[in-house]
Amino acid sequence: MTAPVFIVDTARLTAAAPGAVVRLDGAEGRHAVAVKRLEAGEAVTLTDGLGLGAFGTVAAVHGKDALDVTVAELRAEPEPSPRITVVQALPKGDRGELAVETMTEVGVDAVIPWSASRCITQWKGDRGAKALAKWRATAREAGKQSRRLRFPEVGEPMTTRQLAPLLARAAFAAVLHEEGAEPLAAAELPTAGEIVLVVGPEGGVSPEELAAFAEAGAKPYRLGPSVLRTSTAGVAAGALLLGRTGRWA
């Protein structure tokens, strides 16, 4: 079984070296001691979630909320290439968190919440801020669970108009659509830069949105013979892209 992952600030990791001892405390320390019940000698991975990781073993446990880790190896994970960003329309209920969780586990690099015209759910005021915080917390916890050193970014919510510049500067931009003339599995993909994938809401992407995205350079592509829920389409398409670009090689 791979070692559990805990988050520490970047400064602690950059100051560490093989043989050094790093203190894990606060909420992460309490989770390691009280929930995971780690003991001296057990393997641990520490990360800042930005690509830097320290691999080591528990040297000592202090009370119920702290432990020391002796570092055996430091590793800096390079920036992913090509970078894969999923623009996720806001689903109903907790399906948004499910989408973020599973896309994180698959290996997507960034998620941008999108207020599509046909979204039943709309993020406004405090409700929107809380929903965004949940998405970000979900990405953080799923990043730990899936043993990632670089957690996905969850950006600020965007409107269709705000998405246009992102799509225009992407190396490849696609909109998942059941009536797409070309399958995503056959699309010509770049070896570098950013791939941006737009996933519509349960009600589908409107003709006006499709036109706006096409003007920005994002063509519609079909994923497969079946129609997936918005909360699973990004996961399936992300996996396809990660495999086809060699990220999973």
pLDDT at 124: 87
Per-residue pLDDT of the chain in tens (249 residues, 90 and over written 9): 789 999 999 999 998 899 999 999 999 999 999 999 999 999 999 999 999 999 999 999 999 999 999 999 999 999 999 999 999 999 988 899 999 999 999 999 999 999 999 888 888 889 899 999 999 999 999 999 999 999 999 999 999 999 999 999 999 999 999 888 899 999 999 999 999 999 999 889 999 999 999 999 999 999 988 888 999 999 999 999 999 999 998
pLDDT at 226: 84
Maximum Cα interatomic distance, the chain, rounded to a whole number of Å: 61
pLDDT at 148: 97
pLDDT at 72: 96
pLDDT at 180: 82
Separation in Å, CA 72 to CA 44, 75, 89, 94, 208: 10, 10, 42, 39, 55
pLDDT at 2: 87
Q: CA-to-CA distance for 240 and 114, rounded, in angstroms?
A: 22
H/E segment holding residue 57: strand 52-62
Domains by residue range for the chain, with CATH: 5-76 (2.40.240.20), 83-245 (3.40.1280.10)
Q: Is the peptide bond before 152 cis (omega within 30 degrees of 0)?
A: no
Angle (CA) 92-232-156 rounded to 5° is: 60
Q: Which two tokens stand for residue 182?
A: 């070309």
Q: CA-to-CA distance for 150 and 132, rounded, in angstroms?
A: 19
